[in-house]
Structure formats: structure tokens, C-alpha cells
A and B are shown apart, each in its own frame.
Chain A
């Protein structure tokens, strides 16, 4: 086997690295978006929801950092992203959670895309690395779906009462 110069410098495929860098941007945008949601809830004294979204914002940043260090540890170049166009305006608590679920689904789909690309390029290091993210995304989506189910079950109840039954993390 003739190992190429690039392969000696980095263990992950350059095009997969580009997708991972896009994923960092997506996770950081998600983190900023959750922070906006946390602020919306905090201003309305929705204590459990605000705690939930502050925690989500931290988690998304941790995900971004995990990918960031993974890229650099494998010889690539991680890029600190621009975070722009964060929505701070919501119409209801339910719509905040619905936006959260949509965001999580978009993140999951994006990870699937990188997973497929890494498999196509025989980049098994990234493929194995992403397995944790796939499990994590499945849990995240489930959390949001369960919360939205609660909204349906408690339809018509005062907002504060719904909030008190929502998870903090």
C-alpha cells in the first residue's frame, strides 16, 4: 500500500472535514437559538422551560466542541463559525418547543448526511465518531416529542401549570 502525503497528515477525509465544519456551524447556531428560547422563557418566568433551554444551549455547544476537537485531533482544520440570523421572536411556548423539535430533526438529518459521506469515502474514523451523535439525536428528538405530547394532554390548562410539569433538562 502506498500511503499518500495527505493521508500522512490527516486521518479524516478532506470533504468529510468540510461537512463536519458545517456541522459545527449548525450546532453553534442551534446553541444560540436555544439561548434565545431560554431568554424568551426567562422573561416570562417559565422557570422549568428556561432551565431546559439554558441546558440545551450548553449541550449544543458541547456537541460543537466535540466535533471541533475531533477535526483538529485528526489533523484537519476546525473553523470557528459565524452565527447569524438567530430568531428571538416566538408566538407561544408551544411554538418554542415545536421550533426546537424542527431544529433537532434538521441536526439529525445533517449528521446522517455526514455519516453517508464518511461511509462513501471509507472514512471509518468519522463514521465511528458519529455513532455517538446519532444515538444522542435520537434521545433529543424523543425529549422534544414527549414535551409536545404533554402540551396536547394539558391543552387548555394555564401556561404556568404546563411549564411546572415540563422537564428542566
Chain B
């Protein structure tokens, strides 16, 4: 029943300190610094191209991904992968300073 809401609530990124971020997954919370965030973004962008998604679907249907300088291994199926991509996009969308 809660499959979608589980995905929606997991794979979130929050900022903990000035240069520390936390990736919240269903199993654990992974601390990341900014270069590790950039690397995660690069990997997720690489895994979510049309071709890469097709390859995943036609093979194992999931990916195992090292994060935080290979200190953590996370399992992602396609909906989780897409959710994480969306979350990272939102995180990096926040680039431009806001005029208040």
C-alpha cells in the first residue's frame, strides 16, 4: 500500500552543517560532503540517461551504487533511482541567489 509513499519519503537530502549533507535512504542515513554530493549527482545523471535506464531495465533491473567515497553501498531500483535523481535535481536547482 505504501510503496509510493515509502519512496516519496525516502531518498531525501538535507543539509546538516555548512558543508555536510545527509542522504536519507530507507535503510540508513549517509553523511556526504559537497564533493561527494557532486560525485553522487554525476553518477545518478549517468545512470538516468535514456540508454542507461534501458540497459538497467533489460538486465538486473536495479543498480548498486557506491556513495560517500565508497564508504556506503546503496541499492536502487528504477523508481528509487528516479526519486533520487529528482531529489538531487531539486537540491542543485537551488543555485541562484534569491532576491528578498
Contact = CB atoms under 8 A, between A and B. Distances in A.
Contacts of B35: 77
A9 B34 contact: yes
Contacts of A4: 94-98
Nearest to A75: B34
Interface residues of B, number: 19
Given A77-B35, A79-B42, A6 B99 contact: no
Contact of B95 (A2, A14, A18, A79): A14
Contacts of B41: 14
A8 B18 contact: yes
A1 to B, nearest CB: 5
Contacts, number: 44
Interface string B22-36: 000000000000110
B1 interface: no
A84 B88 CA distance: 29
B57 interface: no
Nearest to A1: B97
Contact of A6 (B39, B42, B91, B100): B91
A128 B11 CA distance: 37
A6 B89 CA distance: 12
B65 interface: no
Contact of B39 (A2, A8, A77): A77
Contacts of A77: 35, 38-39, 42
Nearest to A2: B98
Given A2-B97, A6-B92, A14-B41, 18 more contacts: A1-B97, A1-B99, A2-B98, A4-B94, A4-B96, A4-B98, A6-B94, A6-B95, A7-B95, A7-B96, A10-B34, A13-B95, A13-B96, A76-B38, A77-B35, A79-B42, A121-B95, A122-B96
